[in-house]
Amino acid sequence: NAGVTQTPKFQVLKTGQSMTLQCAQDMNHNSMYWYRQDPGMGLRLIYYSASEGTTDKGEVPNGYNVSRLNKREFSLRLESAAPSQTSVYFCASRDNQPQHFGDGTRLSIL
């Protein structure tokens, strides 16, 4: 069972470049989430999608956009990457249970 799959696992970008982080879950969960994790900061919610067709801002949405493509997939887009967006990004999904996480994407912006 794959659970939550994130791609890519690692990425290095130059300032100003754009990219999309992909996330897919095969557990038929309604809710999906994107977090970033920085040293000493814990997990901070960027965006979440309570159900297919809906998205909402979390704690730190600036500089990001999301798309809930269907029930399985929830992508995170950086339109113009900045060094402050260097972080580890986690996707998670959930129904009436605790969250299940993907392996994370380690993103460096130079």
Partner 1 sequence: RKEVEQDPGPFNVPEGATVAFNCTYSNSASQSFFWYRQDCRKEPKLLMSVYSSGNEDGRFTAQLNRASQYISLLIRDSKLSDSATYLCVVTLDSNYQLIWGAGTKLIIKP
88 in Cβ contact with 45 (< 8 Å)? no
Does the protein bind partner 1 through residue 43 (CB under 8 A)? yes
- Which range binds partner 1 by CB under 8 A, 13-21, 38-46, 61-69, 70-78? 38-46
Amino acid letter, residue 60: V
Residue 58 or residue 63: which is nearer to partner 1 going by CB?
A: 58
Does the protein bind partner 1 through residue 58 (CB under 8 A)? yes
Q: What are the structure tokens assigned to 8, written together?
A: 């890519």
- Which range binds partner 1 by CB under 8 A, 18-26, 61-69, 72-80, 87-95? 87-95
Find the largest Cα–Cα distance for the chain.
39
What is the Cα 90 distance to its own chain's centre?
A: 5
Min dist. Cβ of residue 80 to partner 1 (A): 27
Q: Which of 34, 102, 107, 109 binds partner 1 (CB under 8 A)?
A: 102
Does the protein bind partner 1 through residue 89 (CB under 8 A)? no
CA distance 105 to 107: 6
